[in-house]
Structure 1
Amino acid sequence: MENICKYCNGKVMRPVHCTVCNAAFYPSCATAGGVINNQEKIVCCQPHESEVNLDVQKKLEIVVEKMLIKHLTLLKQELESSYREEINEIKKTVQFMSDCFDEIKVISTGAINEVKMIKEENTGLINRIQQLEHKINIQEQVSKEKNII
């Protein structure tokens, strides 16, 4: 059976074992890791300092992560609220511009129709003037012919 040091995870040829769980250790790792108690027995079933530090670090990471998530959630909500307000203002502006455009379109269509009617009326009046000028010219010729005779 291959022995792996519980402290450093290295292969151990001549391990020392925990008296509680029989975990293998290098003798130097058992000393460095503090698993030898004051009665010179190897007891690893209590976490050594590096494991405690890891637990504290993990707990701190969890607390920091929760704080970050809370802060980021609040920041996200603030940004979303701000963006919603800006988008609503943009929508109002676009609607106002759209209404103005529609009004200008109606006015322009009315003006175009009025110009068409005026052109048609103008064309009719020009034709009428030409007819009247033609009649006047004929009347003048008739009048001149009568004066000559």
Structure 2
Amino acid sequence: MDLFLDCEWADTLASELVSIALISLNGKKIFYAERDPLPSDPIPWTRTVVYPLLERGASAKSDADMTRALREFLADIDSPRILYDFGADRSLCQYVIDGFEVPDPSGPLPLGLEWRLCDELRADVERWWSSNRDQALRRHHALVDAQALRAAYMNRNHC
């Protein structure tokens, strides 16, 4: 099953996760989570653009809870293939799957996980933003961005 990934981060190196989202091609399987606590010293852009879009509440998860929840989500999917358009997204997702810095994270490791870089969809994603101005107001919310990648893929039907 194809899953479309997006992550938001707090630093210039794109290494400090803020939020993560995965959505299936049919739109029925969704994973969304935000770190709790959030990185305390984000770059100004993240503080002013990304943080105001966060949902918090049930979406806010400790690192251990996020790892467990993502592993359970992926374990429930036959042959998951994660499509992404930026390398840092893959690295951050793998970091969550691996358990951050937790010595013994819980939950089953996903089996048969595949990754697919779709950086050629970036122009299609930009066109989608241009034609979906209501969604563009929430750009840089990980789930909205994952939905944009999904829509670009569906319009092109490949990557």
Structure 1 or 2: larger helix share? Answer: 1
Q: Which has the larger radius of gyration?
A: 1
Structure 1 or 2: larger strand share? Answer: 2
Q: How high is the TM-score relative to the length of structure 1?
A: 0.22
Work out which structure has the larger RCO, using CA pairs closer than 8 Å and 6 or more positions apart in sequence: 2
